[in-house]
Structure 1
């Protein structure tokens, strides 16, 4: 099994490469478990997969300069936009798949942090529609 260290992951939101502002990316996909247990289940719970959902969690290093992170994200607030993430910023391929979908930019934190700390923004956006995985 190959091991890797994340050194140059890729994040694009609404076709803007935001990798240079990003220090953490977490894409989560899950499915609800729907109970289909009956009296014929022999005393064991039975489940089937129900609705799928996902979320994209990101930690950004804030930048409020003109045309930088804050102005990009503020313009997207309240909209559903496409995203793409990859483990590496290298070309998409069998060893570097891309994951794409849409996210609702449901929150933005223009100001966050403690005295003396780096200005960081931690956000979580719900996906809208299917998450796809591609190697080409």
Structure 2
């Protein structure tokens, strides 16, 4: 039985590789279900797929140093940027596929936390357009 422990995901946003400050990256995609049930279905629902969408959920360890996380993310607020995620930082392959697309940077939390907490930022960005999967 194949198993995997995520120890080194790869994340790029707007061409910036952010592995050194990313704690979690989750890409979820889904398809709307459309009910096309008719009387001949004998009381059973008939569903087909509709529009596809996705979300890129991220958790970062904040860094305010020049050229680091906050200085990268702040100017992106309100823009649509490209992303790439992979299970590992190794080269793209059949066992390490890359998922690419675009997301809307709709939020940024520069400061968040309580006394004694590490400075972390959790965000969720909707995809914009197609998400693709490639193994080469």
For residues 72-128 of structure 1, give each alpha carbon's deviation from its aligned partner in whole angstroms, at most 9, with x where no partner exists.
000111000000000000000011000000000000000011110111100000000
- Give the number of equivalent residue pairs: 136
Q: Distance in 1 between matches of 2:114 and 2:47?
A: 45
What is the match of residue 63 of structure 1?
A: 63
Q: Distance in 2 between matches of 1:50 and 1:70?
A: 37
Q: Distance in 1 between matches of 2:43 and 2:115?
A: 56
- What is the TM-score normalised by the length of structure 2? 0.98
- What is the TM-score normalised by the length of structure 1? 0.98
How far 1:2 sits from its partner (Å)?
Answer: 1.4
Q: Which blocks of at least 5 consecutive residues in structure 2 are unaligned?
A: none
For residues 14-34 of structure 1, give each alpha carbon's deviation from its aligned partner in whole angstroms, at most 9, with x where no partner exists.
110001100111000000000
Q: Distance in 2 between matches of 1:23 and 1:2?
A: 24
SS at match of 2:40: helix
What is the match of residue 80 of structure 1?
A: 80
Q: Distance in 1 between matches of 2:102 and 2:34?
A: 25
For residues 40-74 of structure 1, give each alpha carbon's deviation from its aligned partner in whole angstroms, at most 9, with x where no partner exists.
11101111000000000000000011111001000
RMSD: 0.6
